Amino acid sequence: MISRIASFHNYQSVSNDLMRQKIELQDIQEQLATGKRVLTSGDDPVASIYIQNFHQQDKQLDQYIDSITLARNRQTRVEIAIDYSEQLIDSSKRKTMEMINGSLSENDRSAHRQDLKGLYNNLVNLANEKDESGNFLFSGTQSSKQPFFRDGSGNVLYAGDSYHRTAQIAPDVEVQTSIPGSSVYMEIKNPFGDYQPEYELKNGSLLLLVSARNANKADNSAYAINFGVDVNGQIKYELTQNGTVVNTEHYDPKIGVQWETISLIFKGEILDGDTLLLKRQDTFNVFDAFKRGMELSHESIFDASSTAELHQVTEQFSAAFKHLNQVRSVVGTRLNRLDLQENMHLDFKLVLNRSLGTMEDLDYSTAIIDMNEKLLALQALQKAFTKTKELNLFNYL
């Protein structure tokens, strides 16, 4: 039995082949235009899954790198502000040391006081510095809140918090992007140890406290040390605790004053009647040192107590300079960590792109050969279809 195929079905079959050939040719042309072998999941289902994962990882790396850039910008601004603060404090220390010079006139001291005031104002402005986004650098997590302000008495107070802002720079890796201003400018280790001295010296005295330490951290008593000279011309001292005499001995400059957990070391010439009051204080803030230095500049250059306290202010400036230098080192360590993490991300992106290329990139030579073959096949099919379509019984009558 001979089956007959309708002309319509034959036309439709050839037409479908033509359409399929055109689509395949168009796909190759799109691949050549984009340079990508896999354009849709249908091109290579397994490879498309890997490609999608690679793109997601690459996008995540870009987000981490953006976070690193923002963190670096902020930390760089912090480092610059601290660096300038160091310079201001170093200049203030030198100004204060010059005020100790007994040959200065009142006008000279007044000029130094004005210089110290200008340095003080500049430091307050630096402590209230903002980043490129208008956020305060030293306010902790309260970036929109000015961290430092002066009250009616001229004291500088801190209005920020003690917390840190952080940025995620890698999976399970965060880095601090801020430093509370309180820990930068107001929690500086006391250069004398556990106490700050208040001097009541006789004119001509050169007595200075070197260190005052108490091994008993729970002891908050107020101490005072009174020096005198006995009938033999030897220096003796009287140590009081909360107003009560607890120890009396001859003073040996080699060992200082030692009593229970208290250890006091002094230097300089001691006069009969010199007194030091010791107030427990583990830390100080540098703004108070500025304020005290400006107050002392009004005193007479011949006042031994004021001169001793100016020495104290210089020691505080020196301690503040060292403290800020340590803080800047911490910031520098964070910047190095950011650079290291960014380099790791960039290296990983390079590996990802290479892996992605093996999955996604097109082999141009193979694709061109395939395109030429499909183009020839399409042209042949088009000619055959044209001839088939022109076949008609009337051509043979």
What does the pLDDT profile of the chain (397 residues) look like in tens digits? 444 445 555 566 666 666 666 565 566 666 566 556 555 555 556 555 666 777 788 888 889 999 999 999 999 999 999 999 999 999 999 999 988 876 677 778 888 889 999 999 999 999 999 988 889 999 998 988 999 999 888 899 999 999 988 888 888 888 988 899 999 999 999 999 999 999 999 999 999 999 999 999 999 999 999 999 988 889 999 999 999 999 999 999 999 999 999 999 999 999 999 999 999 999 999 999 999 999 998 888 888 999 999 999 999 999 999 999 999 999 999 999 999 999 998 888 887 777 665 655 555 566 566 666 666 666 666 666 666 555 555 555 5
Degrees to nearest 5, angle at CA 66 with 126 and 335: 50
* Pair of tokens at residue 250: 């001859």
Q: How many CA atoms lie within 13 A of 109 on its CB side?
A: 20
Q: Taking the CA of residue 226 as centre, how many other CA atoms within 13 Å lie in the half-sphere pointing to its CB? A: 12
Phi then psi for residue 9, to 5 deg, are -65, -40
Task: Indicate the pairing of strand 166-170 with strand 156-158.
Answer: unpaired
> What CA–CA distances, in Å, run from 316 to 93, 187, 227, 293?
9, 12, 25, 10
Query: What amino acid is encoded at 20 in this protein?
Result: R
Whole-angstrom Cα distance, residue 250 to residue 148? 47
Structure tokens at 324: 């800020």
H helical segments located in 128-183: 181
Angle between helix 106-127 and 286-296 (nearest 10): 160
Strand partners, 196: 279
Written as six digits, the tokens of 63 are 């987000």
**With contact defined as beta carbons under 8 Å apart, do 38 and 54 qualify?**
no
Q: Name the region of 205 (left: φ>0; alpha: ψ -120 to 50; beta: rest).
A: beta
Collect all residues with Cβ–Cβ distance below 8 Å to 213 and sequence separation of at least 6. 193, 194, 262, 263, 264
Helical segments of 101-146, H only: 106-127
The amino acid that residue 291 corresponds to is K
* pTM, full prediction: 0.78
- For residue 265, give both structure tokens: 């070391």
Residue 63: Cβ within 10 Å count:
12
